[in-house]
Structure 1
Amino acid sequence: MGQLALAAKITHVPSMYLSEIPGPRFGTRQSAIDGHQEISRRCRTMGVDTLVVFDTHWLVNAGYHINCGQHFKGVYTSNELPHFISNMTFESPGNPALGHLLAQVANDYGVETLAHDATTLQPEYGTLVPLRYMNADQHFKVISVSALCTSHYLSDSARLGWAMREAVEKHYDGKVAFLASGSLSHRFAQNGLAPEFAHKIWSPFLEKLDEQVLRMWDQREWKAFCEMLPEYASKGHGEGFMHDTAMLMGALGWTDYDGAVDMVTPYFGASGTGQLNAIFEVTPQKGEHIPAAQASSAQGYTAVSTRL
């Protein structure tokens, strides 16, 4: 029926918005903006109707949540970085029907998920920044999924992604893009050093760690990447504990994924963190290695199982 037409890992650095404003940072994030616009162009060419964003700035402490309001409109200032994003306007149509469908199938797979349509809750900037460059004309409908999960297993997030693709392909009449909105390593520069690290990674260790991950992606070492994801999330200071990445990999097939990655914005440093825009080839799912419904490990929320 429906189709997961495009899947990507994307940046949402607030300096993208800052780079629009005349001043010392003007134009410095054009490559990231160009990457978002290229993703938008490809989605339009493929006939995508809805962007589903796994947002590592939406913090939740229990359950998984889907913001599928009818329409989003407002003016946003970041409470985290108000000197980077201040009074940014936004507007996008929502897709309540798809949001409830995603939640229903996720629950069928044993992942407790709630869809919210009758809500005053607005998206966080992990969703709003990409939409600024991908959906300025409100061409796409938008759904935001909580991906800063404080008390959750990565394996459940992977299973959530798997279930959401099942919902799209078996029950939805349309084409959808899944966007994992979060960084690679995410250790911010120490207070007072942010300007010095505006275009740098915080440490050589984190930079080398990210570079090794990118080599694994290039060589399609997906089983090894999924198995190392818990430690990568921990030792790499993963944004949102890398639940967005687990959701993306689950949707793509988890350890059985065998696709290629197209880097539309090369890896770059931002305030100490490692960023990129990368489109993942969508290949047919195989049923052998569905992420486990639960994990029991001393690693707590970072635990991942590669088998059912």
Structure 2
Amino acid sequence: MGKIVGAALVSHHPGLMQCEEFRRLQGAGEDSDLIAGYARLRQKIEAAQPDVVMIFDSHWFTTGYHLVDAGAHYSGTYLSDEMPWYLHGVPYDYRGLPALAVAIEDVSREMRGYHRAISHPDLGRQYPTINLVKQLRLEGAGLPVVTVSSCQNCEWPQFLDSGTVIGEAIRRSGLRVLLLASGALSHRFNGIDWKPMHPRIFHESNVSRPENIASDKQAIELFKQGRHDLILERWDEDYRRKPWEAFGAHYLQMLGALGGASCRARGEQLSDYENARGTGNVHIWFDTVEPTRKVQA
């Protein structure tokens, strides 16, 4: 029987891919603690000993289906069309795991879900996947990576349903799977002419709005308590309105795989809560996860 051996909400923001010298310049002499947080997360991953890493990519927007990347191998040089002046020339070379992607589609058909496995050789990469592959050194570890999209014509309960399908496919797979929800919490950008409130650009006071900071910190405390049910209860009136990156698809799909509202996995904060162009970013590790429950079709 397969199992989820760990899960994390992880920041991927492109500023972390800049050189350390420039990051320290933006940080008034200090580096982003999200960089040190990646090292802490690498230790967690090594201890969990997964067979495969699944990344819920908050930039891979799809329409009509939750797509699961079923490619066997990925290699190339990444160029961001969003920020090409510094996020360019990033080489990548890592494996996929087609059997898991196909298994998710099979379970989805059985459960009347909306998942498709896609293995087109020209399918592009997104930096929420590439940045984690590089920062977490998944290439060197030899771990295969399976990426899942954020379907943009979904209501938030349908992301939980997507995760339920994925969790059931993992349970049947015999694999040890690590889940990474790649994205921010509140995701409102500062204007192009914005002036920093704090000289250290990464500092939390530079997040776009005070109410977003308060909401993000409330969510972080609920993560620590394992009260995902309370986050879901407040979703419509709070977290959906801020909103979270990709309207929270990355977190909701991960949570669905962990059991949804019944999940009591407690979060461990592995980095400071930081700003990135107004968005709220943090690394949270969920170490104690409920066994994936069997769901009847």
Shift of 1:139: 1.8
Residues 57 and 240, structure 1, Cα contact 8 Å, conserved in 2: yes
Aligned AA (1:117): S
Query: Pairwise mapping of residues 129-278 of structure 1 onto structure 2 (< 5 A)?
Result: 129-134=131-136, 135-147=138-150, 149-170=151-172, 172-193=173-194, 198-199=201-202, 200-278=206-284
Aligned AA (2:184): S
Counterpart pick for 1:83 among 82, 85, 103? 85
CA distance in 1, matches of 2:41, 2:174: 22
Indicate the larger mover: 256-265 or 81-90: 81-90
| Alpha-carbon displacement from aligned partner over 1:253-276 (angstroms, at most 9, x marks no partner) | 111112211111121111111001
Residues 11 and 276, structure 1, Cα contact 8 Å, conserved in 2: yes
**Counterpart in the other structure of 1:65:** 67
Aligned AA (2:175): G
Aligned AA (2:174): D
Change (3 A) 1:155 1:17: same
Residue 283 (str. 1) matches residue 290 (str. 2): yes
Aligned AA (1:179): L
Given the two structures, how large is their TM-score scaled by the length of structure 1? 0.86
Change (3 A) 1:25 1:118: same
Query: Pairwise mapping of residues 36-47 of structure 1 onto structure 2 (< 5 A)?
Result: 36-47=38-49
5+ residue gaps in structure 1? 294-308
Indicate the larger mover: 178-187 or 229-238: 229-238
CA distance in 1, matches of 2:6, 2:124: 24
Change (3 A) 1:115 1:237: same
Indicate the larger mover: 233-242 or 71-80: 233-242
Residues 51 and 143, structure 1, Cα contact 8 Å, conserved in 2: yes
Change (3 A) 1:67 1:186: same
CA distance in 1, matches of 2:223, 2:72: 36
2:283 partner SS: strand
CA distance in 1, matches of 2:42, 2:111: 30
Shift of 1:92: 0.9
Shift of 1:194: 7.2
Residue 10 (str. 1) matches residue 13 (str. 2): no
Query: Pairwise mapping of residues 24-39 of structure 1 onto structure 2 (< 5 A)?
Result: 24-25=25-26, 29-39=31-41
Residues 195 and 271, structure 1, Cα contact 8 Å, conserved in 2: no
| Alpha-carbon displacement from aligned partner over 1:40-83 (angstroms, at most 9, x marks no partner) | 33222222121110000101122110112111111112111223
Shift of 1:237: 2.2
Indicate the larger mover: 19-28 or 180-189: 19-28
Shift of 1:277: 0.7
Indicate the larger mover: 33-42 or 122-131: 33-42
Residues 76 and 92, structure 2, Cα contact 8 Å, conserved in 1: yes
2:38 partner SS: helix
CA distance in 2, matches of 1:28, 1:122: 34
5+ residue gaps in structure 2? none
Identity %: 24
Change (3 A) 1:81 1:231: farther
